[in-house]
Chain A
């Protein structure tokens, strides 16, 4: 597609439920990032994929959070036993492979607004 897409755009769930958030990156982009953004804050890094593998998951807050990218394209962020504190906008970004010069720009999707009641 022309840009990064994320589904659903909004998700309301009850405390304790399981949710999946999907990200479709720009075609050909090998790097994929998940961020979380709370109101009034900047995006906070969660996890980074290079191809199919999670190269850095140091930003995941705890083991309730998990993400996959089985074919190196679409990624799914999975949250188990949701808590009210998980409410935020979850942003996905993609980027082409980092060049020798580095500093690749990231292309963000519109985000999924998750509300845990």
Chain B
């Protein structure tokens, strides 16, 4: 069956360091992979989308990589800040006409000052 895993439930890092979150999937061939941020009591907020033929995408302090051979995406936040503390969700999109997403459980990131 299709499976999507995010490497850890929680990740604690020191302010200023780079946070690296991992998303692995099996039995799936997504055309796109998206990353969302979710704060407590809120809905997810879109951050980045990367296509299967793209290796890397950047947006300000965020960087996403997509390796379809390893079936893995890495999400990096450089120069992390306490305000980056949230749960980060990866989501797979097969590129079909429907567009519904398959989400991982998320990784809760805590950035300590």
Chain A: residues with Cβ within 8 Å of the partner, total of 29
Residue in chain B with minimal CB distance to A3: B43
Contacts of A44 in B (CB 8 A): 103
Grouping DSSP codes into helix (H, G, I), strand (E, B) and loop, the A interface class, with mixed when no group exceeds half, is: loop
Q: Is the interface of B mostly helix, strand, loop or mixed?
A: loop
Known: A41-B105, A108-B45, A110-B42. A103 touches B34 (CB 8 A): yes
* Contact flags A82-105 to B (C-beta < 8 A → 1, else 0): 000000000101010010011111
Bound-state Cα–Cα, A59 to B99, Å: 13
Q: Closest A-chain residue to B33, C-beta based?
A: A103
- For residue A1, which residues in chain B have a CB less than 8 angstroms away from its CB? none
Q: Determine which of A4, A91, A98, A109 lies in contact with B99 in the assembled complex, contact meaning CB atoms within 8 Å.
A: A98
Q: Are B99 and A105 in contact (CB under 8 A)?
A: no
CA distance in complex: A4, B36 (Å): 16
Question: CB distance A103 to B31 under 8 Å?
Answer: yes
B interface with A by C-beta (< 8 Å): 9, 31-32, 34, 36, 41-46, 49, 51, 89, 91, 93, 95, 97-106
